[in-house]
Amino acid sequence: MKNNMPKSLRKYIRKEKARIRREVLDIKTQEELINKLYTKDDHTGNIQPGNK
């Protein structure tokens, strides 16, 4: 899945995952927020490559 995404998008997701893990203590909530990163881009509202 990562190979379909541009480097800048992979970098954004990596940083957001780190931020979520720092700020959110509940493991289940962390997983939900991280899964949302892969399904929808909050800035443009577009579906990410590789997820249909």
38 confidence band (pLDDT: 50, 70, 90): confident
Q: What is the DSSP letter of 5?
A: S
Q: Would you state the pLDDT for residue 52?
A: 46
User: Against a cut of 0.95, is the pTM above it?
Assistant: no
18 contacts: CB under 8 Å, gap ≥ 6? none
Q: Would you state the pLDDT for residue 18?
A: 96
Q: How far is CA 30 from the centre of its chain?
A: 11
